[in-house]
Amino acid sequence: MAQQGYATAEFISDGTPATRPLSLYRRIGENTPWYVWWLAPAVIILAGITLFPFFWMIYMSFMKVRLAPGMSDLFVGWENWALMFEDPSIYQGWWLQFQYVGASMVLQMGLGLGLALMLNNTRGGSVLVMIFMIPMMVAPVVVGHLFNLLLNSSYGLYAWFLNTLGLYSKGSLLSNPDTALWTIMAMDTWEWTPLIILILLAGLKSVPQDTVEAAHVDGSNPFQVFINVTLPYLAPSLLIAFLLRFMDCMRFIDKILITTRGGPAEATKTLPIYLYFKTFREFNIGMGATIGFTLLVAIIVCALIATNILLKEKGGEQHA
């Protein structure tokens, strides 16, 4: 404010006749940096639909939210928070979420790295890559239903495969508490390993071929070449692939909601799924806001770390 007032005074003393005071509109117009007008629509929209709801969520975590007409919210203090910390399902939900995200990441990164190395410099590789990309574009709802059908114990193709190969014949993998979470991980792996392959293939292009060949001539075995030559060049891409998949894996629950809905016997009730049922099935919205807030904060912390690493990585590339 003070700065603007000063600028206005300077502008007037700069030759504009002091006898004719500027209209408020012009004064604001002249003194506002140009970028404000360009940014304003985005900032106003985003503030309205993200920042305001965020603070509203914090407010609701201290309330008993009553949606019935004519009822107003009741202030309950820290009650929701206390209940959340006492609820064993919350800890179970975080633990399942940790298992789901952790194992998915190991699976997808390992598979993605292996395939990127196989595809690199392979004749016909680009056609294969195009085919491999297709699962990423399939809507999660369709992925969920498709695997539901494939695994169906009486007419699913994959159930038939498992049965014929003698691997598994106890109904659908999705309806067994011991295998359900792993099956959903496999579905996510089917859908998203291609993204890791694409990122790593782009990264492999930065590995200088003559260095690789020189290492081969020196008698290094392929494993040594990979560790000593390829890996250092590939490290930034590995990091990006990991961070992006990690963030998405934490966020999305569509496939679980379509296939198991947290079951069987709560075996797939990860924290976001628990949150869904608490909020939109039990309509305990105050509690939902409390859990949602903790989930959001956990993800914001991850995002803070991820963006800092990514921006540093990107800045480094630009200077190089």
Select 103 or 247, whichever has its Cβ closest to another protein: 247
Select 196 or 267, whichever has its Cβ closest to another protein: 196
The yes or no reply on residue 265 touching another protein (CB under 8 A) is no
Q: Is 290 helix (H, G, I), strand (E, B) or coil?
A: helix
* Least distance between another protein and beta carbon 277 (Å): 10
The yes or no reply on residue 56 touching another protein (CB under 8 A) is yes
* Least distance between another protein and beta carbon 79 (Å): 17
List of residues 6+ apart from 241 with CB closer than 8 A: 109, 112, 195, 196, 199, 200
Instruction: Tell me which residues in 187-206 interact with another protein (CB under 8 A).
Output: 190, 194-195, 198-199, 202, 206
**How many residues contact another protein, by CB under 8 A?**
96
The yes or no reply on residue 225 touching another protein (CB under 8 A) is no
The yes or no reply on residue 180 touching another protein (CB under 8 A) is no
The yes or no reply on residue 264 touching another protein (CB under 8 A) is no
Select 184 or 275, whichever has its Cβ closest to another protein: 275
Provide the residue type at 240 as one letter.
I
The yes or no reply on residue 132 touching another protein (CB under 8 A) is yes
Q: 64: which 2 tokens? A: 């008993």
Alpha helices in 174-267 (DSSP H): 180-204, 209-217, 222-225, 231-251, 254-259
Counting every residue written for the chain, the total comes to 320
Residues 258, 140 contacting (CB under 8 angstroms): yes
* Least distance between another protein and beta carbon 181 (Å): 18
Alpha helices in 125-165 (DSSP H): 125-132, 140-151, 157-164
* Least distance between another protein and beta carbon 267 (Å): 19
Instruction: Tell me which residues in 278-297 interact with another protein (CB under 8 A).
Output: 279-280, 285, 288-289, 292-293, 295-296
Q: 286: which 2 tokens? A: 């105050």
Select 51 or 235, whichever has its Cβ closest to another protein: 51
What is the spatial distance between Cα 119 and Cα 132, in angstroms, rounded to a whole number?
Answer: 11
Give 302's Cβ-side CA count (13 Å radius): 16
The yes or no reply on residue 235 touching another protein (CB under 8 A) is no
